[in-house]
Amino acid sequence: MIALGTRPETIKMAPVIRALQKYGQPFSLVHSGQHYDYNLSIRFIEELNLPRPDHNLRFRESLPAAQTGRMMMGLEKIVKRERPKLMLIQGDTNTMLASALTAFKQNVPVGHVEAGLRSYDWRMPEEHNRRMVDHASKYLFAPTLGAKENLEREKIWGKVFVTGNTVIDAVAQHLPIAEKKSDVMGRINFREYILATAHRAENVDDPRVLRNFVEVFMEAPLPVVFPVHPRTAKRLRQYNLWKKLASSKTVQLLPPMGYFDFLILMKNCELMLTDSGGLQEEATAPPIRKFVLVLRLSTERPEAVEAGFAKVVGVDKKKILRALRDSVENPPNLQKSSPFGNGKAGEKITKVVMGELG
């Protein structure tokens, strides 16, 4: 059984799903409803040419504890009815926590794709989720040796396999589709641009930090293209920053982007400014290869920093602008390979699963 509930999980599990299909391994697919516009979620799954979910939980809880509880109640009925040999999950969302705990309570082994990531920043709910999921998992698919070492330090009881990260597979599989389907570059006002994103609660819910970001985007050495997350848009208006940003001639605000459009924006930008974890990985994929300035105090993807693809610059305006100017004036020479694997993670995970299940 594969559980997913958000776009990033769908993207990162797509290579595993395709590999399971390729090798004829039966599976069922559960959509948790965490990103609860179900029709949009299904349309996205179909765009990636993935099978429709066998089960879907539809609810409108938004508070984290209630959301997790609702998912567990729904998942428990499905797990009891199907009795899967394995619950396969990815990442660190509430969907993953609910799926892992439900399976664990029903004596169904858990397999965690992207295990062992650690930011050591306890303000992030994802850090709590990923640690609990790792300790409940029987099979842990670590994307890197560093992630494996994190698990060993914590004396995880499950079996650890270093597989690479499925996001590298996903970029390689989906970019050719994006290049055929996306027309987003026809809507971009600038030939050269910085691609920016910001959505983390610890950043955008803090008016001081969000104001710093707005001023950085407006004073950046290159124009900035900024797809605005719904949470961020709400806070920009709440803190009276939206009009200021929208009036800038060097910042282009965009609505939230679809996956294919965003891949094209990444491929064509000069560099990225982001507080996203997944973008730090995608930037290292050979078809993308872009430098990233991380708008956070820490990262659970240190491999991107060590390989020279990323630099953690914090949330201080002066430090970010200094790093931006340096990156534009002295572009780093990026290596051709990704520290997150060779794009075969989905195959490796599937072969392990099939071997362990006999």
Beta bridge partners of 310: 292
Distances (CA, A) of 130 to 4, 56, 137, 273: 15, 23, 11, 24
Listed residue (302, 355, 341, 311) closest to 149, CA to CA: 302
Cα separation, 146 vs 150, whole angstroms: 6
Cβ-based neighbour number of residue 50 at 10 Å: 17
Listed residue (165, 100, 98, 159) closest to 133, CA to CA: 100
Listed residue (181, 171, 65) closest to 128, CA to CA: 65
Beta bridge partners of 196: 273
Distance between start and end Cα atoms, the chain: 16
Cα separation, 332 vs 305, whole angstroms: 12
Cβ neighbors of 123 (< 8 A, separation 6 or more) are 202
Listed residue (71, 80, 79) closest to 36, CA to CA: 71
Distances (CA, A) of 45 to 48, 302, 313: 5, 30, 35
Classify 294 as helix, strand or coil: strand
CA gyration radius, the chain = 20
Token code pair at residue 329: 């004036």
Catalytic residue (choose from 31, 55, 135, 199): 199
Q: Is 199 a catalytic residue?
A: yes
Beta bridge partners of 112: 89, 140
Question: Known catalytic residues?
Answer: 199
